[in-house]
Structure 1
Amino acid sequence: MKRLLVPPERIGDGKARIRGESLHYLSRVLRVRVGEPLEIFDGRGAAWSGVLASIDAEEAIVGLQGEPRRATRPAITLAQGLAKGDKLDLVVQKATELGVTRFAPLRLERCVVQLDPAKGADRARRWRRIGEEAARQCGRADVPAVDEPATLRDFLDAAHQRGERIAVLWEEQDPGVRLGPWLEANAGEPLALIVGPEGGLTSAEVDLARSRGAEVLSLGTQVLRTETVGLAVLSIALHLAGELG
């Protein structure tokens, strides 16, 4: 079924009111006609079946049927070092499909890419759009939060404020200190999973995270690319949480 993201403030009284870019997407991309069914989701976990009731140049009205379906999923933040090219575009898209609830790009010492605040904000907006589109395509009713790039110290502060259990995936950790047992021990808790950039995390960064209560873990003996690590970690976490497989 065709799906459309509509902000919660435009949903109420059994209707969704669609304007602006969403109206253009509805009429020109999805090409929904009056009387045709579609699904409306609010990006916060609620979705409704609906029927397009009316449309003009300014606004479309979708009549919503019944109570919303509400999604619940494990709270998992993926914090990943800034990477070259469009690698993080892919990570955001696929992490959204897998079920991540927050994506936090990190400014780390070995990041080849260094974004000033303005460019960081622009990139975050781009990643939010990618997350919205991936959520629409994969059937999610919620859209992951996307933070602007932050330092590791600032991210750790924010993760503690959210009550997250923090793990650092580090290629220099003993391969016997695995992610799986830590995930099982923290089942049901909000998680933050930290992945380094192409050059990896420095010892000082790992020590900082450890000093803030993070566990330093290994994925095994193989060295994976940065864009692979985040998705592998998410897949393992969501499988153990009963969301995949």
Structure 2
Amino acid sequence: MQRYFLPPEGFEQDRIVITGDDAHHLIRVMRAEPGDEVICCDGLGRAVLARLTEIGKTEVSAIATQELPQTGEPSVELWIAQSLPKGDKLETVMQKGTELGATRFIPFLSERTVVQYDAKKEEKRLDRWRKIVKEAAEQSHRSVVPEVLAPLSWKALLKLIGEVELAVLCYEKESGLQLRSLLREIGDLREKSATEAATPSAQTEGTATSTSRPTKRPRILVIVGPEGGITEREAEEAEQAGARSTGLGPRILRTETAGMAATACIMYEYGEMGG
């Protein structure tokens, strides 16, 4: 069944108005008719089964008939910080990262970033990235569209390390701690979040929760360098800021592969890959 992410203002209680590209897709591509059903999401976690009531030339009206549970959101809040790579590699990272369950993408500039960053083109690129993430979220049946930040400086990225429970720096020169060993610590984060969710302050007394997942999800930040890798100075600065430097095995991965590999490993550890 088709799934569409709409702006929150498109929801008026049970009445839904679909406009823009989504309306065009329904009208011109899907040849939708009144009575057809689709899934509509507000991008913030609400998903409803909706029955189309009116097909116009540029917009479609619908009525929500059933609230749907959130089944596509992971129990961990995972942020992927990717140094700007060449070509369309970042688009691949965002698309596949969304499918794997990432909740935020943070492009950043580092010493060895090859791409010439043009602030004048930032808005256009951001729009494209956010469109790619939205479409990937629809395809993978997510309930929330991951956030895409504007590119940050290295120093600005380091400040975000203090906002997460675990920051993982993917560093090809790390010969000691490998990701598999570091992931053993994630179990402690999972138990901590579950314990906090069970305390009275985590939920309203006497109110039944609609899901068995913790209300407070631990945050994990994965930092990936550009084609030339992170410099030794940057690795030291990241560790001083609280990040854990880790390798991803004996093989050197491309920059667009490293973040996805780390994400898949973390999601597997959290039981988000079917286990």
* TM-score normalised over the length of structure 2: 0.84
- Work out the CA distance in 2 between the residues paired with 1:190 and 1:181: 18
Query: 1:14 Cα deviation (Å)?
Result: 1.1
Trace 1:224-235 onto structure 2 (pairs within 5 A).
Answer: 224-235=253-264
Trace 1:134-149 onto structure 2 (pairs within 5 A).
Answer: 134-149=136-151
Report % sequence identity: 37
Structure 2 partner of 1:105: 107
- In structure 1, give the amino acid aligned to 2:119: P
- Work out the CA distance in 2 between the residues paired with 1:220 and 1:199: 18
Q: 1:78 aligns with which of 67, 80, 86?
A: 80
- Work out the CA distance in 2 between the residues paired with 1:164 and 1:150: 20
Moved over 4 A (4+): none
- In structure 2, give the amino acid aligned to 1:93: Q
Structure 1 partner of 2:232: 203
Deviation string 1:186-220 (CA, Å, 9 cap, x unpaired) is 33320000011100000111111111011101111
Contact 1:106 1:149 in 2 (8 A): yes
Query: 1:58 Cα deviation (Å)?
Result: 4.6
- In structure 2, give the amino acid aligned to 1:231: M
Structure 1 partner of 2:26: 26
- Work out the CA distance in 2 between the residues paired with 1:33 and 1:192: 44
Find out whether 1:219 has 2:248 as its counterpart: yes
Query: 1:59 Cα deviation (Å)?
Result: 3.0
- In structure 1, give the amino acid aligned to 2:226: P
Trace 1:143-182 onto structure 2 (pairs within 5 A).
Answer: 143-160=145-162, 162-174=163-175, 176-182=176-182
Larger strand percent: 1
Query: 1:57 Cα deviation (Å)?
Result: 2.6
SS in structure 1 of the partner of residue 245 of structure 2: strand
Query: 1:164 Cα deviation (Å)?
Result: 4.2
**The 10-residue stretch of structure 1 (14-23 or 136-145) with the greater mean CA deviation from structure 2:** 14-23
SS in structure 2 of the partner of residue 84 of structure 1: coil
Query: 1:181 Cα deviation (Å)?
Result: 2.9
Judged with a 3 Å threshold, the aligned counterparts in structure 2 of structure 1 residues 76 and 88 are, in CA distance, closer, same or farther, namely same
Query: 1:167 Cα deviation (Å)?
Result: 1.1
Structure 1 partner of 2:210: none
Deviation string 1:85-109 (CA, Å, 9 cap, x unpaired) is 1111111111111110001111111
Deviation string 1:51-85 (CA, Å, 9 cap, x unpaired) is 11112135321111122423542100000111111
Contact 1:16 1:64 in 2 (8 A): yes
Unaligned segments of structure 2, at least 5 residues: 191-217
**The 10-residue stretch of structure 1 (65-74 or 131-140) with the greater mean CA deviation from structure 2:** 65-74
Instruction: Compute the RMSD of aligned alpha carbons.
Output: 1.6
- Work out the CA distance in 1 between the residues paired with 2:158 and 2:28: 43
SS in structure 1 of the partner of residue 221 of structure 2: strand
Contact 2:112 2:230 in 1 (8 A): yes
Trace 1:113-132 onto structure 2 (pairs within 5 A).
Answer: 113-132=115-134
Query: 1:120 Cα deviation (Å)?
Result: 3.0
Query: 1:124 Cα deviation (Å)?
Result: 2.1
**The 10-residue stretch of structure 1 (162-171 or 134-143) with the greater mean CA deviation from structure 2:** 162-171
SS in structure 1 of the partner of residue 251 of structure 2: coil
- In structure 2, give the amino acid aligned to 1:200: G
